[in-house]
Structure 1
C-alpha cells in the first residue's frame, strides 16, 4: 500500500536534510536564498492583476528606462518622470507599486537627446556636451535614490560595444562620436568606441551613482561581443580619470549567455572581486521558442549560484526579455480580452511552486541511466531534481546519500510545464547501501519540441522526507 501511494519505508540512517545541507558548508542555507531572488523581467507590471501574475511566476525584479531628461534643448526643464519605449508611462507610481509588492527596480540610464547627439539624429551616439549627460544622471539618481522610492540599482546605457568579436563592426546601441569621413556608416569600424564610452558615458555616470550611495550595473554586454573583448573594455584604464571601467562597476551584466559561459566572468571578476555580482538583464526572447529554455536556465542558474558563494540575494539576477507581448513564446499574451499565460510563463509558475523553499546545495553527484540527464538541489528539506529524458523507464542514482531519519520518503514526478503529477506507479524509490535510486516513467507524449535531436521531456523529481 505504501508503494502504491508513492511512499517507501527506509532505514533511519539519513539525518534531516536541513542539517545535512548546513554541514556541507553552503552559506546559502542560513541566508535563505530562493529561486525568486534570481528572476526578473524587462518592463513593468501595469496593474494589480499583472502584479499577481508576476508573483505567481516568481518575478522579483523589474527593469526599464527613465526619461525624457531634457528632450529638446539644454534650456528645457529636466524631466525624469516617464518610462517606456516612447516615454508614455508615468514612472513614480510604477516604482511605488513595485516597492509595495516586493518587486525591486533597476532603472536604465540612456540615451542621448537628439539635440546633444554627436551624430545627427542618432540617440545612440555620444553626447556633444557630457555635462548634459551628467545633469540627466544626477537628476534621476537624486530623485529615485530618495524616499519614497529608495532605489539602489542604476544601469548605465545598454549594450555599449565597439568592434565585436565574431559580430558586427559596431554595436546597435553605441555609435559613439562623429568621425571624419564616416558619416552615418554604421558598418565602419569604430576604433575608439571603448575609450569614448568609458570617458564620456560610464565613468561620469558611475561617479554620480556612487556619490548617492547606490550601485552601478554595467550596461549589458551583448552575447555576440565576446567575453575576452568585454575584458578589454572593463580593464581599459582611462588616462583622463586614471581609472578602469571595472573600478566603476558593482554588478557585471551580460545578455543572452548560457549559464556555463558565466564562469569566465565569475572567476575573473566576482570570486575575489572587485565586482559584487553577475547579472544578465536580458535573457530569453526568441530562445524561449524552446519551451524548455526558461525553466532549464533558471534551475541551472540556481545550481550554479549555490556552488559560487551565493551570499547576497542580489548577487546573481537574470531578467527575461520580455514578459508580455503577442508572440507565443513570451511569458504572457497581453490580450485582448484578458492577459493569459503562455507556455514559458506557466513553466515559471511550476518552477516557483516546485522549488519555492530555501535553496541549498546537493553535494552528491547524480548518475543518470541512458537517455536521461539533469541536476539537483535542496529546496527546504526536499531534494528536487530537474530531469530531461526520452520516453520510457529511466533511472537516476545518488551515491553516498543516506535515508532520512524518519525512514520514510515520498517521490513525485512533476511535468515542468503543466505541473501535473504522474501516478505513483510511475515512480519507484529505493535505498541500497546508502545510495538513492529512482526509477521513473517518462510519458510517451513529451513536452519538448526536439530540434536537432529527439524530443525530450522536462520534469521535476521531488523527494520529500517525512
Structure 2
C-alpha cells in the first residue's frame, strides 16, 4: 500500500485477504506444539542477559507519532519504528526546486521535525523513496510507472539520502519504491504500484507488463541502491505484495541486469514483504538470510483489514518472536514488522483519532497487553508443548518468566510443558491473562501440577471468548509462569 497517497487496499485485495484469513482460521484450530523437544528436563532460568532481544524491537507502524500524547501511546503499545513518505520532489516540472521536506499521504506534514522527534523519543525511521512525477512517467501521467529520465529519479534519491543520512537526522534505512511487481500469482496482470504498457484501471482488463522486472531493476532499484550505499545507509526492498507469491519474489531478487551483470539481490540489505504470515517468511530466511547475503527480513505492512480479527496482531507478533528466536535473531533490526495503520476511524485500527481525544481500539490494547506480559529479554523455550483437545499455542522465555500464548475454545483445557522442572524459587505465580484486555482470571481458573513429566496445566476458558467473531469462536490468552524469590 502506498504511504505517499491514500488508496483503498480492501477494494483491491479483499478476496485474497478472505482466503488467507480462512487458512489462518483453519490452522489456528489445529493443536500445535511449536516448542522444540528437549533432550533433557530444563528448569525455569533464574536470570537472562539484560541485553537480549525484546519484542518491542520488532514492532513498527506506518506514519509518525505527532504529539507528545501520540508518542506516549506508541510507547505503551511497544512501537519503536515508523515509516512514511518523503517529498514531494519535483511534482510539476524538472525545473522547479527539489522539495523533500514534507511527508504524509498528501505531503502536508513537516518531515524534518518528525524525524528529529523520532530520534529524541527513541523511535527509528524508515523513509519510502517514490514515485515518478507524472511529467516523467513512461505511462503518460501515471506516477506508478518507470521514469523516462532516470536522472530525474536519481536527483530526488540523492537529495533525500544526502540530507537525511547526515546530522541531525542520521537515518540509516531507506526503502526503494512500494510493491513493485509484474504479473502476480494472485491473478492480476500488473501490480498495483508498478504499471507499464497495457495498464488499465480495471485490473481485469490490464495485460502483462512484459518488461516489469527489467525496467524496475535497471531504471529504479539499482540507481537508487547505489546512492543509498554511497552514504553508508541500508537498502530496504520495496515491499513485495502478498498476492505476488514468494517464489515469484525470489525470481525478481535473482534477476541479473544484462547491462551491469548484477542481481537485484546484490543491492538489497533487508528483504521486505507485505501481509504474509510468519511461516511464509521461512523460505526467504533459509535462502537469503541464514547464510547471507541479506541482513534480515521485514514486513513494512501488516494488519490493515486483518485486524478485524482481534487476535491477529498479538498472535502475529508472538509467533514472529518465537520464529525469530530460532533463526539467529542477533541484531535488533533483523526482524521488523510495521502495522498499517496505527491511526484512523475504522474500529480495527490501533487507535481512534477522535475527536475529542485519541483513544485505543481493541488492537491497540492488545499490543499494550503483549508488551506488558512479554517485557523481558527473550529466549527460546526448548520444551515440547502438549495441548489437549480444543487448544493450541506457542511459548517463549521473557526474563525469568515463561510465557505461553494459548488459543482455545470455551471450557476447561489442558497443556503440558514437557520436562520443565519446578524452579528453585519458593513460590511460582501462574497467571491466566486475557490477551486483549490484560484481565487476570481468578486463581481457581488455572490448576498446576509439577511432576517428572514436567508442568501440567489446566485452564478454564471463559464462556464469553474474546474472539467471538472468529470461525470457530476462540479465546486468546497468556499463561505466565513467574518464579518469585
TM-score, with normalisation over the residues of structure 2? 0.89
Question: Match for residue 478 of structure 2?
Answer: 460
**CA distance in 1 between partners of 2:113 and 2:439 (Å):** 38
Of 284, 307, 312, the match for 2:326: 307
**CA distance in 2 between partners of 1:171 and 1:433 (Å):** 56
CA RMSD of aligned residues (A): 1.5
Aligned: 1:206 with 2:225: yes
Aligned: 1:32 with 2:44: no
Tell me by how many angstroms 1:110 deviates.
0.3
Question: Match for residue 25 of structure 1?
Answer: none
- The equivalences for 1:12-31 within 5 A come to 15=43, 17-18=45-46, 29=49, 31=51
Tell me by how many angstroms 1:407 deviates.
4.2
**CA distance in 1 between partners of 2:207 and 2:376 (Å):** 51
Q: Deviations over 1:62-106 (max 9, x none)?
A: 000000111221111111100011110000000011111110000
Distance of aligned partners of 1:185 and 1:349 in 2 relative to their CA distance in 1, 3 Å threshold: closer
- The equivalences for 1:147-296 within 5 A come to 147-176=167-196, 179=197, 187-296=206-315
Aligned: 1:389 with 2:417: no
Question: Match for residue 365 of structure 1?
Answer: 384
SS across alignment from 1:97: helix
5+ residue gaps, structure 1: 1-12, 23-28
CA contact (8 A) 2:242 2:276 kept: yes
Aligned: 1:327 with 2:346: yes
Q: Deviations over 1:290-324 (max 9, x none)?
A: 01001000000000000100000000000000001
CA contact (8 A) 1:369 1:395 kept: yes
Question: Match for residue 20 of structure 2?
Answer: none
Aligned: 1:337 with 2:356: yes
Of 53, 63, 85, the match for 2:73: 53
SS across alignment from 2:460: strand
Question: Match for residue 10 of structure 1?
Answer: none
Question: Match for residue 86 of structure 2?
Answer: 66
Distance of aligned partners of 1:255 and 1:183 in 2 relative to their CA distance in 1, 3 Å threshold: closer
Question: Match for residue 26 of structure 1?
Answer: none
Question: Match for residue 416 of structure 1?
Answer: 435
**CA distance in 1 between partners of 2:313 and 2:168 (Å):** 34
CA contact (8 A) 1:31 1:311 kept: no
SS across alignment from 1:106: strand
Q: Deviations over 1:5-61 (max 9, x none)?
A: xxxxxxxx9655156xx7xxxxxx574100100000001111000000000000000
Distance of aligned partners of 1:89 and 1:182 in 2 relative to their CA distance in 1, 3 Å threshold: closer
SS across alignment from 1:385: strand
CA contact (8 A) 1:14 1:403 kept: no
**CA distance in 2 between partners of 1:407 and 1:394 (Å):** 27
Of 366, 373, 380, the match for 1:354: 373
**CA distance in 1 between partners of 2:224 and 2:382 (Å):** 42
**CA distance in 2 between partners of 1:184 and 1:408 (Å):** 64
**CA distance in 1 between partners of 2:42 and 2:283 (Å):** 37
Tell me by how many angstroms 1:452 deviates.
3.1
**CA distance in 2 between partners of 1:14 and 1:420 (Å):** 30
SS across alignment from 2:421: coil
Question: Match for residue 112 of structure 1?
Answer: 132
CA contact (8 A) 1:355 1:379 kept: yes
Q: Deviations over 1:256-311 (max 9, x none)?
A: 00111111111111111110000000000000000100100000000000010000
CA contact (8 A) 2:348 2:361 kept: yes
**CA distance in 2 between partners of 1:82 and 1:108 (Å):** 12
Task: Report which stretch shifted further, 386-395 or 139-148.
Answer: 386-395
**CA distance in 1 between partners of 2:415 and 2:376 (Å):** 23
Question: Match for residue 4 of structure 2?
Answer: none
Question: Match for residue 88 of structure 1?
Answer: 108
TM-score, with normalisation over the residues of structure 1? 0.92
Tell me by how many angstroms 1:457 deviates.
0.6
CA contact (8 A) 2:389 2:413 kept: yes
5+ residue gaps, structure 2: 1-40
Tell me by how many angstroms 1:449 deviates.
2.6
How many residue pairs were aligned?
A: 442
Question: Match for residue 13 of structure 2?
Answer: none
Q: Deviations over 1:135-172 (max 9, x none)?
A: 10000000000000000000000000001113210001
**CA distance in 2 between partners of 1:157 and 1:182 (Å):** 18
CA contact (8 A) 2:447 2:459 kept: yes
